[in-house]
Structure 1
């Protein structure tokens, strides 16, 4: 089976586990940005500004954190789910993406169903781009990535596609090397994927916001 076929088969498999893992492939309609617009140009700053206005925050770092939390949730969820079921994880580097931010929030899709690289290599250029727009702490952004990955593993385990123990082992492997090392830890809890991050995504600083279940401030 070709790489394209393996990735497509995995995307179909994990999509069936949960809509949370759905990731479409192919050129979209008008109004989408090429992934390169994440790294340079006005699209990312404008999106952070829109998020700040949408959530009525005067703190750019909160808006930047919310953008990256959404970004990692949309992309790491299918990647981690693919790894958990033993499939072929897709390439989610900016060069292989389309994206847009609208009234439905952040949406992403793949250009091609090709195999990917490690989580850190996939996300590092976007971490740098976000920090060039807003000087938010890198540890906070990588904590968001860890939180998104752990959340995806929790969904996989609860859906029965892999055991909680297998998901925790995968998570510990993913978080074994910098920059994800030290972002959080898995908490022993029978039959469940329990994770506690070591920092906060700042959601609590929004009007009506609270603390997430894995927040270090709890």
Structure 2
């Protein structure tokens, strides 16, 4: 099969795991941003302000964390699942993305179904862009990415796509190099993927917010 066909076949294979694993392809309706808009210009500060208003927080770093939680989950769920099933990993670098933020939250889609690179590399430019406009720690953002990847592995194991042991082994491989190295640890637990991160996403700082299941503060 061609590269396009391989990527599309993998996306079809994993999209049923949960809505976060569904990654559509092609030019969207008007109102979406090119992925490059994440790296400069007013779009990213604007969406961070909208998130701050929506969640009633006066802390820009909390809004940045919430944005990146959604962003990393939307992209790493299909990317990690592709690794679990041994399929073609899609290219989720900003240059190959469309995105928008509205009342339904953050949505992303691919421009082209082409194969990509790694897990961390596609996210690094957005981490840099967030830190350029918001005083948020890099370790916090990479902890969010690790949490998203571990959540994807947990879902894949529970769905029977692979065993929990296989998913944990893949997670340890994915987190073996910077910037994901040191973001957390997989906790041995029979038949389950259990991950404990070493940073906090700051969700607890929202009104009515609490601590996540993998939070370092619990």
TM-score by length of 1: 0.99
Matched, 1:66 2:69: no
Q: Within 2, Cα distance between the matches of 1:20 and 1:38?
A: 20
Aligned residues: 218
Equivalent residue number for residue 143 of structure 1: 143
Q: CA deviation at 1:121?
A: 1.1
Equivalent residue number for residue 49 of structure 1: 49
Q: CA deviation at 1:210?
A: 0.3
Equivalent residue number for residue 159 of structure 1: 159
Matched, 1:31 2:31: yes
Matched, 1:83 2:83: yes
CA-based RMSD? 0.6
SS of residue matched to 2:8: helix
Q: CA deviation at 1:211?
A: 0.2
Matched, 1:97 2:81: no
Structure 1 runs not aligned, ≥5 long? none
Structure 2 runs not aligned, ≥5 long? none
Q: CA deviation at 1:18?
A: 2.8
SS of residue matched to 1:119: coil
Equivalent residue number for residue 178 of structure 2: 178
Q: Within 2, Cα distance between the matches of 1:79 and 1:195?
A: 18
Q: Within 1, Cα distance between the matches of 2:114 and 2:158?
A: 28
TM-score by length of 2: 0.99
